[in-house]
Chains A and B, each alone.
Chain A
Amino acid sequence: MVVSIMGTRVLRKEDPKLLTVGGTYTADLRDARLEGAAHVCYARASALGAVSGVDVSGALATPGVLGVVTNSDLADFPLQPPQMDLFPEEMLRRSWLVDDAALFVGEPVAAVVAESVVAAVDGAEAVEVIYGGGEPATVIDLEDADGDAEVIFGEVGTNLALNLETVDMSTGFSDGDFFEDCEVVIHQRVENHKVAAVPLEGRSVACCWENGSLTVWMSTQAPHLVQGVFRNVYDLSRKDCRIIAPDVGGGFGQKVNHSQEEMLLPELARRFGRPMRWTETRTENLIGFGHGRAQVQRVTLGGDADGKVRRYRLEVICDSGAYPGVGAFLPYFTHLMASGTYDIAEIETRCRSVVTSTAPTQAYRGAGRPEATAAIERAVDIFAARCGRDPVEVRAQNLIAPERFPVTTAVGTEYDSGEYARALEKALEASGYEDLRREQARRRAEGDPRLLGIGVSCYVEITAGPAPGGKEYAKVEITPEGGARVLSGAFSHGQGHLTTFAMLASDSLGIPIEQVEVIQGDTAQIDKGVGTFGSRSLQLGGSAVCDASNQVIDLARETAADILEAASADVVFDAEKGFHVSGAPAVAVSWADLAERAEAPLSADSNFFAAASYPFGAHVAVVEVDRETGEVTLERMITCDDSGPLLNPMVAEGQRHGGIAQGAAQALIEEMRYDPWGNPVTSTFADYGIISAAELPSFELVVMETPSPHNPLGFKGIGESGTIGSTPAVQSAVVDALAHLGVTHVDIPCTPERVWRALS
């Protein structure tokens, strides 16, 4: 009997290379096609405001500089199509480089092309942006932008980029008193501040033209999506536009979409007649490529005095940054997940996105769903406190019961499967919740200066969404040696698909995992694809691998029947023996036999579609707060994250760990900040507090596996769960530590000074 490798901790095939010579990231490429490449450095706006000219003479005089391109040089180069067309037209008409105004600090003004990176940097430093021609509209705060602040796009007449109600992406608020029948109503303004995705590798692109064909190497999460954009901008056929994603050093949502700096590179290559390379610095990544979250919410929750929640109103204002794009649309996901894990009879949402004088908002791990969880969890905590009840009891009282699935929430989102109460129980049990409460009571009674806080969050999120669902492509081929090759349209950049997708094919085909090769990240080799984001890849891309593998088995059955001189209906396949006549396993046909006999290579593909799935779980955070200084120490994180059956528990745990750390970091440290003049002040890793090992504990993970009915193996996404559950749990723990002093809310990040002020 062959023991399936499904559900086992297979070590990663990716690792030996990454551990010995390192990955081959875009800046590492030493490809012959990039011989003689020139290097680009973008000169950037150092202040907001109207720009009357750009003096490039100093740059042109810099040794090694080949030329400088400003926006006026690009008059005949068509504008790139917008990411989304939901917004006022004037906001979508973004020039390639700063034209007559810099709308955010860090916006690229000129491309300096040089023989070396050093010369390009020297040249960019010598570019002088001439400001003048009017006072800049400077709107940093999103509530100001939503209020009576000056208007950034004068022609539009408002800073409102998108009212999601008008496109049925939020419900709007009814007239009259929505909360009339509620005994207890709480209201809170909740900040979900701007954070940076900060993949350790920033943006990096290289490109070359050969006889009218373009090849682009790019650090991206979605090579096929990016191909579509390059094709559109450069008017190229699929065959003439090849995108290769080499090893990619993290993305976290930031690298799903493309940027001006990346898209312009082939035009520079064309003008200078050379292959072209650009790799950004950390500061460019922090100030130029957009941030995540960036919402202010107003939550109102009403219900019975005994803790039963009845009605919820969520108002979201989202900061889309200077140019609205995907970030301005993400409140839709906040709306979709507004109900969280709770059975709430009536929900109203009102979401809108406004432009500000900051870098455009992007997707960041969770992308709209963490904001939904943060809002409802804060509201439930405050509601429980107002009812004088334990926040855990109030949660348990209101969770959607397992027998109700599939269930449609008051905002119309249909959750597939879940056992929310069990996830909460498991996390609480692992945390020793009762003991923690006793310890907290002891410390309070004894006046211990180390306050203990226990925070709980329940979450449900949407992966491979929104409705109706998503697609991903895979092709499976049998090699002449009897191994398998998987060509995947998903794109792993740390998620381990080379291992996990190989496990799927190996299990279906009975071919040892060592003989299964997974190929990704090259549009010339892989016909179709979407990419890896939104925790979609296993349920869609993995299901496509299974589907294609099963098709290959069906195709091979015919050939096997010929060899076995049997009717194909009598031929069975088992992973251990191969193809044989039913009941006669002694004579079997192997994949190698079949590959030898087949006239064409045995292969099949699948563009697998599935409806969205809804992973869920519960997190418990334990913090200590120094009563004198306000310093918060995260002592424990206990999480139960249910993403359906686990293909490789080791890899899934890794996804959870990373997510938990990022979510905790948002709750405690990380914040992208601008000064009142629009200067980003957290523009380096010395200022932007990306969390380190020293600020975190080891995490305590609890297993739970509830399948989704939406794909054959029941998978749900696990990439973002950790991030979604942990931020509100940690925030709740900080508030809980101070609760006996009358504190009901502290905004994130819960910095020492903020906590100290709440204490004093």
Chain B
Amino acid sequence: MHWRMKAVERVSVTINGAEYSHEVEPRTLLVNYIREQAGLTGTNIGCDTSSCGACTVHLNGESVKSCTLLAVQADGEDILTIEGLADGERLHPMQESFRECHALQCGYCTPGMVMAAVSLLKENPSPSEREVRLGLEGNLCRCTGYHNIVKAVLHCAAGASATNGGAQ
């Protein structure tokens, strides 16, 4: 067995509007770059096979699985993670909808799920329930049975999220 110590590559990206630039090994996955170099740990890793979607972020406005991109592939691009979704204190309507519909339990799949859901509505603003289910096929959740996630996405699409949730 031989180990090739490779030259590092410089990666410069915009994440949530801020500039980041680091030298990394070419084999560095984007998700590891986001978590370790940029220090944004909201994006999680749930599998090794691009199956679970916990690592979903937006690359130039579209959902991607950041475990299946090299950081060097994202060089120069614009990335949005869960940390950049809310507008200051004001939750994004999808975040608000997830909260109002109890669409999260342990929270581990949640950042990826929310990012996938935002991308889904961007491409299909008024999906049917079936379209929501198929649109989230690449994001796995073990807690919710998806019932309330689907409900939250439909709730958000209907513009029904509000900020006045709470005790009735």
Cβ of A752 within 8 Å of any chain B Cβ, yes or no, is: no
Contact: B49 with A282, CB < 8 Å? Answer: yes
Cβ of B10 within 8 Å of any chain A Cβ, yes or no, is: no
Residue of B nearest to A202 (CB): B46
Which of B111, B166, B167 meets A22, CB within 8 Å? B111
Cβ of B150 within 8 Å of any chain A Cβ, yes or no, is: yes
Smallest beta-carbon distance A100→chain B, Å: 25
Q: Chain A residues near B85: list those with CB within 8 A.
A: 20
- Looking at B44, B52, B144, B167, the one whose CB has the most chain A CB atoms below 10 A away is B167
Contact: A693 with B48, CB < 8 Å? Answer: no
Residue of B nearest to A663 (CB): B145
Cβ of A650 within 8 Å of any chain B Cβ, yes or no, is: yes
Residue of A nearest to B46 (CB): A200
Cβ of A597 within 8 Å of any chain B Cβ, yes or no, is: no
Which of B98, B134, B142, B168 meets A8, CB within 8 Å? B168
Q: Chain B residues near A201: list those with CB within 8 A.
A: 44, 46, 106, 108
Cβ of B114 within 8 Å of any chain A Cβ, yes or no, is: yes
Cβ of B63 within 8 Å of any chain A Cβ, yes or no, is: no
Q: Chain A residues near B136: list those with CB within 8 A.
A: 692-694
Q: Chain B contact residues: over half helix, strand or loop, or mixed?
A: loop
Contact: B107 with A14, CB < 8 Å? Answer: yes
Task: Compute the total of residue contacts between A and B using a CB distance below 8 Å.
Answer: 199
Cβ of B5 within 8 Å of any chain A Cβ, yes or no, is: yes
With A15-B104, A21-B83, A63-B5: A692-B146 Cβ-Cβ less than 8 Å:
yes
Instruction: State in angstroms the CA–CA spacing of A494 and B166 once bound together.
Output: 19
Q: Chain A residues near B114: list those with CB within 8 A.
A: 19
Contact: A20 with B137, CB < 8 Å? Answer: no
Smallest beta-carbon distance B163→chain A, Å: 11
Interface residues of B in 70-107 (CB under 8 A from A): 82-83, 85-86, 91, 95, 98-100, 102, 104-107
Instruction: State in angstroms the CA–CA spacing of A201 and B43 once bound together.
Output: 12
Contact: B47 with A685, CB < 8 Å? Answer: yes
Instruction: State in angstroms the CA–CA spacing of A252 and B142 once bound together.
Output: 9
Which of B42, B140, B167 meets A692, CB within 8 Å? B140
- Looking at A15, A660, A661, A662, the one whose CB has the most chain B CB atoms below 10 A away is A15
Cβ of A259 within 8 Å of any chain B Cβ, yes or no, is: no
Residue of B nearest to A696 (CB): B146
Interface residues of B in 107-165 (CB under 8 A from A): 107-111, 114, 129, 132-134, 136-151, 165
Residue of B nearest to A251 (CB): B106
With A248-B106, A693-B133: A658-B142 Cβ-Cβ less than 8 Å:
yes
Instruction: State in angstroms the CA–CA spacing of A273 and B129 once bound together.
Output: 55
With A63-B3, A651-B102: A684-B47 Cβ-Cβ less than 8 Å:
yes
Cβ of B39 within 8 Å of any chain A Cβ, yes or no, is: yes
Q: Chain A residues near B91: list those with CB within 8 A.
A: 16, 19-20
Which of B98, B141, B148 meets A19, CB within 8 Å? B98
Which of B100, B129, B132, B137 meets A11, CB within 8 Å? B100
Which of B99, B133, B166 meets A696, CB within 8 Å? B133
Smallest beta-carbon distance B106→chain A, Å: 3
Instruction: State in angstroms the CA–CA spacing of A538 and B27 once bound together.
Output: 47
Cβ of B68 within 8 Å of any chain A Cβ, yes or no, is: no
Interface residues of B in 17-35 (CB under 8 A from A): 25, 27, 35
Contact: A657 with B46, CB < 8 Å? Answer: no
With A10-B167, A19-B110, A693-B132: A122-B3 Cβ-Cβ less than 8 Å:
yes
Contact: B145 with A685, CB < 8 Å? Answer: no
Smallest beta-carbon distance B84→chain A, Å: 10
Cβ of A513 within 8 Å of any chain B Cβ, yes or no, is: yes
Contact: B49 with A698, CB < 8 Å? Answer: no
Residue of A nearest to B94 (CB): A19
Cβ of B54 within 8 Å of any chain A Cβ, yes or no, is: yes
Contact: A19 with B95, CB < 8 Å? Answer: yes
Q: Chain B residues near A696: list those with CB within 8 A.
A: 133, 145-147
Which of A20, A122, A662 meets B83, CB within 8 Å? A20
- Looking at B25, B107, B150, B151, the one whose CB has the most chain A CB atoms below 10 A away is B107
Cβ of A247 within 8 Å of any chain B Cβ, yes or no, is: yes
Q: Chain B residues near A15: list those with CB within 8 A.
A: 98-99, 104, 107
Instruction: State in angstroms the CA–CA spacing of A125 and B3 once bound together.
Output: 11
Q: Chain A residues near B105: list those with CB within 8 A.
A: 250, 494-496, 654, 658
Cβ of A598 within 8 Å of any chain B Cβ, yes or no, is: no
Cβ of B1 within 8 Å of any chain A Cβ, yes or no, is: yes
Q: Chain A residues near B149: list those with CB within 8 A.
A: 693
Smallest beta-carbon distance B118→chain A, Å: 12
Which of B41, B144, B151 meets A28, CB within 8 Å? B41
Instruction: State in angstroms the CA–CA spacing of A61 and B1 once bound together.
Output: 10
Q: Chain A residues near B60: list those with CB within 8 A.
A: none
Cβ of B37 within 8 Å of any chain A Cβ, yes or no, is: no
Contact: A249 with B43, CB < 8 Å? Answer: no
With A25-B108, A650-B102: A200-B140 Cβ-Cβ less than 8 Å:
yes
Interface string of B35-68 (1 = CB under 8 A from A): 1000101111111110110100000000000000
Q: Chain A residues near B1: list those with CB within 8 A.
A: 58, 125-126
Q: Chain B residues near A199: list those with CB within 8 A.
A: 106, 108, 142
Contact: A11 with B144, CB < 8 Å? Answer: no
Instruction: State in angstroms the CA–CA spacing of A755 and B107 once bound together.
Output: 36
Which of B41, B54, B134, B168 meets A694, CB within 8 Å? B134
Smallest beta-carbon distance A476→chain B, Å: 20
Contact: B143 with A693, CB < 8 Å? Answer: no
Contact: A684 with B51, CB < 8 Å? Answer: yes
Smallest beta-carbon distance B129→chain A, Å: 7
- Looking at B102, B105, B151, the one whose CB has the most chain A CB atoms below 10 A away is B105
Instruction: State in angstroms the CA–CA spacing of A16 and B54 once bound together.
Output: 18
Cβ of A757 within 8 Å of any chain B Cβ, yes or no, is: no
Contact: B42 with A22, CB < 8 Å? Answer: yes
With A63-B3, A200-B46, A684-B49: A22-B110 Cβ-Cβ less than 8 Å:
yes
With A19-B98, A20-B83: A11-B151 Cβ-Cβ less than 8 Å:
no
Cβ of A611 within 8 Å of any chain B Cβ, yes or no, is: no
Q: Chain B residues near A87: list those with CB within 8 A.
A: none
- Looking at B138, B144, B146, the one whose CB has the most chain A CB atoms below 10 A away is B146
Interface residues of A in 1-51 (CB under 8 A from B): 5, 8-12, 14-16, 18-25, 27-28, 30
Q: Chain A residues near B140: list those with CB within 8 A.
A: 200, 685, 690, 692
Instruction: State in angstroms the CA–CA spacing of A25 and B107 once bound together.
Output: 10
Cβ of A445 within 8 Å of any chain B Cβ, yes or no, is: no
Cβ of A283 within 8 Å of any chain B Cβ, yes or no, is: yes
Q: Chain A residues near B111: list those with CB within 8 A.
A: 22
Q: Which 7 A-B pairs have the closest CB atoms?
A: A249-B108, A22-B42, A661-B145, A494-B106, A18-B107, A685-B51, A494-B105
27 intermolecular pairs with C-beta atoms under 8 Å apart = A9-B168, A11-B165, A12-B99, A18-B110, A20-B95, A22-B107, A22-B110, A23-B107, A23-B108, A25-B41, A63-B5, A201-B108, A250-B106, A494-B105, A657-B147, A685-B46, A685-B47, A685-B48, A690-B51, A693-B136, A693-B139, A694-B136, A696-B147, A698-B129, A699-B145, A699-B147, A722-B145
Interface, chain A (partner B; CB < 8 A) = 5, 8-12, 14-16, 18-25, 27-28, 30, 58, 61-63, 118, 122, 125-126, 198-201, 247-250, 252, 281-283, 493-496, 513, 650-651, 653-654, 657-662, 684-686, 690, 692-694, 696, 698-699, 722
A5-B167, A495-B105, A693-B150 are known contacts; what are 10 more A-B pairs with Cβ within 8 Å? A10-B166, A12-B99, A19-B110, A30-B41, A250-B108, A494-B107, A654-B148, A685-B140, A693-B132, A698-B129
